[in-house]
């Protein structure tokens, strides 16, 4: 029996949710990928700092080449 891509995605999201909850984070129920630290030390503070051009693209490239599951 093969696992569908949808089932694989569901299982990875469930794994992420469990790991983040174990680490003290809560998720925003309407967006699966957004988490907030419980008892956040700077809950009312907003941070504004420059992000170097290309940072996001470079980071995504390194993430894309990493294995999803430890080998």
- Give the burial class of 49: count Cβ atoms within 10 A of its Cβ; 0-12 exposed, 13-18 middle, 19 or more buried: exposed
> Does pLDDT of 69 surpass 60?
no
Q: What would the pLDDT profile of 6-62 be if each residue is shown by its tens digit?
A: 889 999 999 999 999 999 999 988 888 899 999 988 888 888 878 777 666 555 555
CB 13 within 8 A of CB 5: no
**Residue 48: its pLDDT value, please?**
85
Whole-angstrom distance, CA of residue 62 vs CA of residue 57: 9
């Amino acid at each position: 029996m093969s696992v569908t891509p949808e089932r694989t995605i569901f299982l990875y999201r469930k794994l992420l949710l469990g790991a983040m909850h174990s680490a003290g984070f809560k998720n925003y129920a309407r967006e699966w990928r957004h988490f907030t630290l419980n008892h956040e030390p700077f809950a009312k503070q907003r941070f504004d700092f420059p992000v170097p051009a290309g940072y996001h693209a470079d980071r995504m490239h390194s993430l894309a080449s990493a294995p999803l599951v430890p080998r």
